Structure 1
Amino acid sequence: MDRYVERNEAGEEWPGYVQQKDLLWERRAHLPQHYMVYDTDVLEREVKRAGFLVEKMGYINRPDYPQDARNGGREGLAVLTIKPSNS
């Protein structure tokens, strides 16, 4: 997550873009070749770009994940959106 924070603070548009080959983590073989890590700011930005309104957003705690895959109760992220009518 340190790289995410650094990239985000540097103003990168997609700070959570990850390539499996760049990971040092032993579980990397179980991950896709490319994936995206989001935080609430980036997800909210993209939801709004797509024309939706955020009704509710929050992190998902996954205590069932192995300890080395945990992220302080922020293992997942969910958003409930509303598409405004154009009437």
Structure 2
Amino acid sequence: LKELSRRLDTYQNGNVQMGEELHEMRSVVAPLPEKLTRLEQRDPTSLSFDQAARLVGMGASVDELTQSCGLTQAEAELMSKMHKG
């Protein structure tokens, strides 16, 4: 009887621990649908400009910006002037 009681305690402790971990996982997963929706609705051109700004910071040329980010020559020149420094 003592052995069964010990086993029951072990199982109960395991269940409590699993419940706590499940609760923690839910708090991590719960905001994901909203974040995904925001990403899907984000203007794709803003991604190009963000990428271009990073590339300028790494020393990319105007030609590299037009090729890799799909910017026009004028946009690439403006990005280069704005983000160099």
What TM-score, normalized by structure 1, do the two folds share?
0.24
**More strand by proportion, 1 or 2?**
1
**More helix by proportion, 1 or 2?**
2
Q: Considering only CA atoms, is the larger Rg found in Structure 1 or Structure 2?
A: 2
